[in-house]
Amino acid sequence: MKADSEPDRGWQAEGSPPPLGLPEIEPDVPDKFKDRMLRASQWFFALRDRLCSTIVDLEEAALAESVSGSRPQQFEIKKTLRQTRTKQDGGGGQMAVLRDGQVFEKVGVNASTVYGQLGQKMSKAISARRKSPDFANNAQFWASGISLVAHPRNPRVPAVHLNTRMFWTPVGHWFGGGTDLNPCLEFPNDVRHFHGHLERICDRHDQSYYRRFSEWADRYFHVPHRGRARGVGGIFFDDLCSGNWDGDFSFVRDVGESFFDAYLPIVRRRRTESWSDDDRVAQLLHRGLYVEFNLLYDRGTRFGLESGHDADAVLMSLPPMAKWR
C-alpha cells in the first residue's frame, strides 16, 4: 500500500471526496448547511474527475494523430493536507497534474475541502472585506473548491485558469470563482468565443452578471507593476450570496463547466497549427507575467499559503517554464 504522500500515476474516477470535515466547527453549522456543504464538495470533486478524464481523452487523441509511438501522458495524483498550528485535522484534497503532454505542457486540477481556524492575518482580511467585525473574534471556517490551470504546448493555444469555491463561516457564507483566458498570441475569434459563452451562461442567471463580473475580472487580473492585464479577461466574482443558495450554486456549476464549451473548442481549433521560435519566446515571456501575478497578487495563492495548505498544491498554477528579459 502506498503512503499518503506517494503519488499515483494515471487517471481514474476517485469516487466520493474525502470526508466532509466538520469536527472542529460542527456545533456552529446549521443542519441545512451541512447538506449544502456536502453537495458542494461532492460536486467540486465530481467536476475534477470530468475535467481530468476529458483532458486525458484529448491527449490520447492527439497522440494517435502523431507518429511518436510514445504512450500518452497521465495525471499524477497526490493527496494534499492542510497543516494547522494545533496539529488538528484541517482537511485537504487531491492535486492532479499532467506534464509533458502532446497538447498541454502542464495542466493541474486541484480539488479540496479544508476547515478549522484561520490565522489572525487572514481572518482580519476577510473581516474587513466582508465588513464583519465579529468574524475576527470567531475565525472558524469551512471551504471547498476546485482550481484548474492549463499551460498548452502550442503557443497559438491560450492558457486558461478556472476556479470555483464555496466558503462558510459563522457570520456568513458565499461562493466565489471565475475563469480567464491568457493567450500570448491574441486571436479576436478566440476572445469572442470565450467571452460569448461566458456572457450566455451569466445571462441565464442574471442579466447584470456578465457586465459586473467581466469588469471585476479586468480589475482583478490587472498586473499593477506592469500596467497591463495578464490576459484578455473573463469573469471573476466573490462574496456571491444572493439569498438563493440553490440559484447561486447553479451559477457556480455553470461557471465550472464553462471549460468544456468556452475553452476546449479553441484548443481543438489551434493545437495543430504551426508555430515559430518567436512564438515560443512570446509564450515564455507571457508565462513570466502569469507567474508575477500569481505570486504577488493572487488572492487564492495568499489564502492557500497563509491557511496552511500544501504549498505544492497552492503553487500548482505556475508554468513549467517561463522567461524574463
Tell which residue, 177, 245, 253, has the closest CA to residue 216: 177
Distance of CA 72 to the CA centre of its chain: 24
The one catalytic residue in 151, 161, 286, 309 is: 161
Based on the residue annotation, tell me whether 161 is a catalytic residue of this protein. Answer: yes
The secondary structure of 40-70 as a DSSP string is: HHHHHHHHHHHHHHHHHHHHHHHHHHSS--P
3-state SS of the chain: helix, strand, coil percent to 5? 45, 25, 30
**C-alpha to C-alpha distance for 33 and 39, rounded to whole angstroms:** 10
The torsion of the CA quartet 252, 257, 261, 264, rounded to 10 degrees, works out to: 130
Distance of CA 197 to the CA centre of its chain: 18
**C-alpha to C-alpha distance for 22 and 2, rounded to whole angstroms:** 27
Residue 240: strand, helix, or coil = strand
238-263 as b/e, with b when 16 or more CB fall inside 10 Å? bebeeeebeebbebbbbbbbbbeebb
Cell for 308?
496552511
**C-alpha to C-alpha distance for 12 and 50, rounded to whole angstroms:** 10
Q: Catalytic residue positions?
A: 161
